[in-house]
A and B are shown apart, each in its own frame.
Chain A
Amino acid sequence: EAGVAQSPRYKIIEKRQSVAFWCNPISGHATLYWYQQILGQGPKLLIQFQNNGVVDDSQLPKDRFSAERLKGVDSTLKIQPAKLEDSAVYLCASSLESSGNTIYFGEGSWLTVV
């Protein structure tokens, strides 16, 4: 079974520029997550989708971050404009359902803002 796919793996941008990350979850997984992991910390949930609807985006900085999951499959996370503190690994993950299930993570997209 194919895992969660993410791209690009690495990105370096200047502050105030924009960046987009793409994610394709495991086939059949209804729930898709975007997490931000800052070096030395645990993953912080940015947004959670159930099919193509948003379940939780309470920690998403909506003035600069946006995410969509068209057709309930793959998803894009965008940052515009980027700030230095956005330097982190952006982890996409998926699970069969939204509660109590194992979450399967992609390898992450490493963002450095300079």
Chain B
Amino acid sequence: GNSVTQMEGPVTLSEEAFLTINCTYTATGYPSLFWYVQYPGEGLQLLLKATKADDKGSNKGFEATYRKETTSFHLEKGSVQVSDSAVYFCALSGTGGFKTIFGAGTRLFVKA
């Protein structure tokens, strides 16, 4: 079946460090891929998305590239800030009744 696997957390970084959160997926067809972020006490919100292979989604300095050959959608940011501390969820969705599936989430702590 369809699934999403993301790296376990927590990930702890110092401010201005480089961030990578790995996400791989298993799916039939051509799903859309998403990263959602959940700040403390809030609901999930879309961070970025990519709808086809080789597309790059970007927002707020975060980027992720849809790699069909490696079935991956790794999240990266060149220089993290304390305000980026949150839980990040990788997700996929598609057409034809393909429901959205979320990964387990990766908690990021950024220290000043």
Interface residues of A, Cβ cutoff 8 Å to B: 4, 33, 40-45, 48, 55-56, 91, 93, 98-108
Task: Tell me whether A98 and B43 are in contact in the complex, defined as CB-CB below 8 angstroms, given that A42-B89, A42-B105 are known contacts.
Answer: no
Query: How far is it, in angstroms, between the C-alpha of A107 and the C-alpha of B100 when the chains are bound?
Result: 19
- A-side interface mostly: loop
Query: How far is it, in angstroms, between the C-alpha of A55 and the C-alpha of B36 when the chains are bound?
Result: 23
Cβ-Cβ contact count across A and B, 8 Å cutoff: 61
Are A42 and B94 in touch, CB under 8 angstroms? no
Is the CB of B17 closer than 8 A to any CB of chain A? no
Task: Tell me whether A99 and B102 are in contact in the complex, defined as CB-CB below 8 angstroms, given that A91-B44, A105-B43, A105-B44 are known contacts.
Answer: no
Interface residues of B, Cβ cutoff 8 Å to A: 31-32, 34, 36, 41-46, 49, 51, 89, 93-100, 102-105
Q: Choose among A33, A43, A100, A108 the residue that contacts B51 (Cβ–Cβ < 8 A).
A: A100
Top 4 nearest A-B pairs (CB, nearest first) are A105-B43, A42-B102, A105-B44, A100-B32
Task: Tell me whether A99 and B97 are in contact in the complex, defined as CB-CB below 8 angstroms, given that A42-B89, A42-B104, A42-B105 are known contacts.
Answer: yes
